[in-house]
Structures are given as structure tokens and as C-alpha cells.
Amino acid sequence: MGLSTAAEVNDYMKTRSYVEGYAFSAKDVEVFGKIGLPDQKAHPHAYRWYVHTAALSGSKCLALVAGGAGSKPTPAPAKAAAPKKAAPAKPAPAAAAEEEDDDDFWGDDEEQTEEEKAQAAKELEEAKAKAMAKLAKKEANQRSLCNLEIKPWEADQDLKALYAKIKKTVVKDGLKWSEGLKLVDVAFGVQKIICTAVVNQTLSMDAIIEEITEDLFADEVQSMSMTSMSLL
């Protein structure tokens, strides 16, 4: 699949949590490397996927540092060295001594500058790590609203009772099912459940759907799909 822009990823991720299948994979890393941090307002679905992938892969993307997308911290400029003093022409031995002193002075200054650079680099890395940890915590608490459709096997199934069982059985931290539901006719007397669920970034709605349709309620649920997803 040719996902190479934020717009393409945003459209693709409207009803998905991962690039391929129901779990994080190398495909996510591949697409992640092709695009920068998407604009949250213009491409909310791509933004949701991007920060989730960054958290899972442990990527230290500079675009996610508190400075914002594309910003890079700039170390403070090194202090300008003092101008070198001119040595007097006479006497010659004294001039040689002053030149030797000047050489020592510049050597010490260069050594100090290297130490300052190393300290600045260390402080920059620490600031980046703190910013990444703060962002990861913030994004982990971010939630998405998922619109869902659940289709049963039989026309005479009690769909309200089925939905009640799903809510009672599928309980996870960060997952909240809607209290109400809507029944919509499909065909031949069969109806489907229209409902919503709120999940945070630590959960995959695709994985929850797979758990319901292939494991917990395989005999009662014919299919379940996420029709749309939006950030809260």
C-alpha cells in the first residue's frame, strides 16, 4: 500500500488502529518513517496513529518534543574568545615567554569549550527525554470515540440482551461502552446493533473486535465493524 503522506494516512486510519492487521508491526514503522508529525487539526486520525506508533516503537522523534513539529532545540552559542594580545617586539626572550603563555591560554579555553559543549548536549538529551515522557503520558490519556456496528447470526436473537452481555464480558481499563444502542433493519428480518465505545490510546479497537467476533461471542455475532473513529 502506498501510504506516503499525512493526508493518505489520515484517510486510511479513519477506521483502523494499525497499518496492517490488528497489531503493531513493521508496516507501521515503515510508514512512520515516511511522514513527519501530522497536524492534529487537519489530520486527526493520522496524528492519533503517529503518536501511538512513536510510543510503541520508542522513537525519539524531535517533532514530538514540546517545541512542536519540526522544531529543533538550538544549543547556546559558544562564548567568543578574547582577542589575542600582541607581544612586544623587544626584548626577544620576553616576547617568546608571552607567546608561550598565550598558547596555554587558548588551550585552556578550547578545553573549557569542549566541556561546555558536552554539558549542553547532555542537558539537551535530558530535556528531550523529559518532553517525550510527558508527551507519552498525555497521549496515553487521550481518548477516541468509535462508532460500531454489530450484526447477529439469527433474526430472532435478542440484540439488547446480546449487547448487555458484551458490555458485561468485555471490560478493560480505558474502555467504556455506550449505555444506549440503536437497532437498525438489515434484511430478511435481521437487525444490527448501532453503538459507540470510548477507548484510550493504550487499547486497540480492532483487537477488541477480533476478541468478540472470533473468541467470546463467535456463536452469536456474525460480524462487528468500526464505521468511524474520532479524537475526543
- Give me the pLDDT at residue 75, please: 36
pLDDT averages per 10-residue partition of the chain, 232 residues: 88 90 87 91 92 78 44 38 51 51 50 78 79 66 90 92 95 93 91 95 91 94 93 80
- Give me the pLDDT at residue 74, please: 37
- Give me the pLDDT at residue 98, please: 52
CA-only gyration radius of the chain, Å: 30
Contact between 7 and 43 (Cβ < 8 Å):
yes
- Give me the pLDDT at residue 76, please: 35
Q: What is the pTM of this model?
A: 0.46
Calculate helix-pair angle for 92-140, 44-57, nearest 10 degrees: 120
Q: Is 195 exposed, middle or buried (0-12, 13-18, 19+ CB in 10 A)?
A: buried
- Give me the pLDDT at residue 22, please: 82
HEC-encoded secondary structure of the chain: CCCCCHHHHHHHHHHCCCCCCCCCCHHHHHHHCCCCCCCCCCCHHHHHHHHHHHHHHCCCCHHHCCCCCCCCCCCCCCCCCCCCCCCCCCCHHHHHHHHHHHHHHHHHHHHHHHHHHHHHHHHHHHHHHHHHHHHHHHHHCCEEEEEEEEEECCCCCCHHHHHHHHHHHCCCCCEEECCCCEEEEEECCEEEEEEEEEEECCCCHHHHHHHHHHHHCCCCEEEEEEEEEEEC
User: CA 92 to CA 89: how far, in whole Å?
Assistant: 7
- Give me the pLDDT at residue 115, please: 83
